[in-house]
């Protein structure tokens, strides 16, 4: 995946750290970082056209998510979660995310996710549709590796 650079991301979604996000030590609880990742990923999926109405027979499901914590995060803060697809496989995609303080290029946390295209009727992975692959190629600042 390599070094995280803000310029590699087209999709950047703003979030505000809420008082309730803090733990007893006064910094954002580790589990909340995963919620920030989820919010950014879903907003990204909606914008790119990966997610939509729930009546779909196939779609993207999260198979693995890892977070590298780089800095502490405290209240109050405005942050941005950046999301991009950096690799496309036959039935999967690799998603990179980075959490930044608003307007800052220093990474607060980095995320790496494996997302699988899934056929809900057959309960098995399925090839990522060409329409989705094309949308991702067209959308990204850095074209995903295939």
Interval 75-133: pLDDT, tens: 999 999 999 999 999 999 999 999 999 999 999 999 999 999 999 999 999 999 999 99
Q: Give the pLDDT confidence score for residue 3 in this predicted structure.
A: 84
16 forms beta bridges with 78
Confirm or reject CATH 3.10.129.10 for domain 6-139, answering yes or no: yes
User: Average per-residue pLDDT in the chain?
Assistant: 94
Judge whether residue 59 has pLDDT over 80. yes
Asked if residue 78 lies in contact with residue 14, where contact means CB atoms within 8 angstroms, the answer is: yes
H or E segment and range at residue 46: helix 30-48
For residue 111 the two structure tokens come to 């995320």
- Helices and strands of the chain, counted as H and E runs: 2, 6
**Cis status of the peptide bond prior to 76, with omega within 30 of 0:** yes
* Spatial separation of the C-alpha atoms in residues 84 and 140, rounded to whole Å: 7
pTM for this prediction: 0.94
* Spatial separation of the C-alpha atoms in residues 96 and 140, rounded to whole Å: 12
CA dihedral 96, 130, 128, 139 (to 10 degrees): 20
Judge whether residue 143 has pLDDT over 80. yes
Q: Give the pLDDT confidence score for residue 2 in this predicted structure.
A: 62
Asked if residue 75 lies in contact with residue 19, where contact means CB atoms within 8 angstroms, the answer is: yes
For Cα atoms 53, 55, 61, give the angle at the middle one, nearest 5 degrees. Answer: 75
H or E segment and range at residue 139: helix 130-139
């Amino acid at each position: 995946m390599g070094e995280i650079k803000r310029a590699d991301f087209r999709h950047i979604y703003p979030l505000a750290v809420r008082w309730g996000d803090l733990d007893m030590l006064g910094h954002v609880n580790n589990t909340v970082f995963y919620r920030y990742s989820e919010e950014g990923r879903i907003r990204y999926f909606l914008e790119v056209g990966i997610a939509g109405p729930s009546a779909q027979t196939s779609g993207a499901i999260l198979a693995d998510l890892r977070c590298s914590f780089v800095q502490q995060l405290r209240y109050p803060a405005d942050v941005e979660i950046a999301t991009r697809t950096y690799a496309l496989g036959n039935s999967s995609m690799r998603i990179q995310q980075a959490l930044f303080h608003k307007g800052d290029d220093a990474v607060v946390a980095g995320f790496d996710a494996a997302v699988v295209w899934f056929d809900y009727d057959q309960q098995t992975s399925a090839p990522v549709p060409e329409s989705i692959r094309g949308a991702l190629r067209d959308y990204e600042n850095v074209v995903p590796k295939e």
